[in-house]
Amino acid sequence: MMRSSVSNCPVPTDQQPLNEYEELKTSWLFRDCTLNWREYLTNIAWIWGLSWLVSGPVAAASFPPQKYAAHFVLCGAAGASLGVIFVLLRMYLGWRYVRDRLYSTAVFYEESGWYDGQTWIKPQEVLARDRLIVTYEIKPILQRLQFTFAGLAGMYLIGTIVWHLF
């Protein structure tokens, strides 16, 4: 974990927004967003493929592959995409939470439990540093996730059109 550059910061180390950002950036799920596009899409494809383990049998029960091959594939693909959507939503909410904590002028923290919450106002230099991190590090990650959501929505639209053609 990074140490705060502010020596008199009363916020516990694990609740400081900069440290929350560093922890999120290195955690196994959230770091996928920081990879290059090829690796990122490969990981998304793996999640989609693993989601087929659940959606495939459900689709096969609804549309026997021998009789309704196109409907089986479309239904299974749509079901598998739900797994991707849930993972992407979790990543988006995690990154957005850290973005909000970094961007905020005040940091809410708990000293020892839920009953003793405090608020610390960031000094100007800490606020400027945190907002630079939001602008140059977190904003592109959130845009990538939004772009991925838009791509999935487009695929659902195409799947719906193809569904009605069969």
Query: pLDDT, tens digit, for every residue of 71-98?
Result: 999 999 999 999 999 999 999 999 999 9
Identify whether the C-beta of residue 151 lies closer than 8 Å to the C-beta of residue 37: no
Distance CA 117, CA 67 (A): 61
What share of the chain has pLDDT > 70, as a percent? 95
| pLDDT at residue 6, rounded to an integer | 61
Could you report the per-residue pLDDT of 34-80, keeping only the tens digit for each? 999 999 999 999 999 999 999 999 999 999 999 999 999 999 999 99
Could you report the per-residue pLDDT of 105-145, keeping only the tens digit for each? 999 998 877 677 889 999 999 999 999 999 999 999 999 99
Distance CA 42, CA 20 (A): 26
Distance CA 146, CA 87 (A): 13
Q: At what angle do helices 17-26 and 124-133 cross, to 10 degrees?
A: 20
* pTM given for the model: 0.89
Identify whether the C-beta of residue 71 lies closer than 8 Å to the C-beta of residue 103: no
Residue 114: left if φ>0, alpha if ψ -120 to 50, beta else—which one? Answer: alpha
| pLDDT at residue 115, rounded to an integer | 74
Distance CA 23, CA 164 (A): 46
Distance CA 121, CA 104 (A): 9
Distance CA 148, CA 72 (A): 24
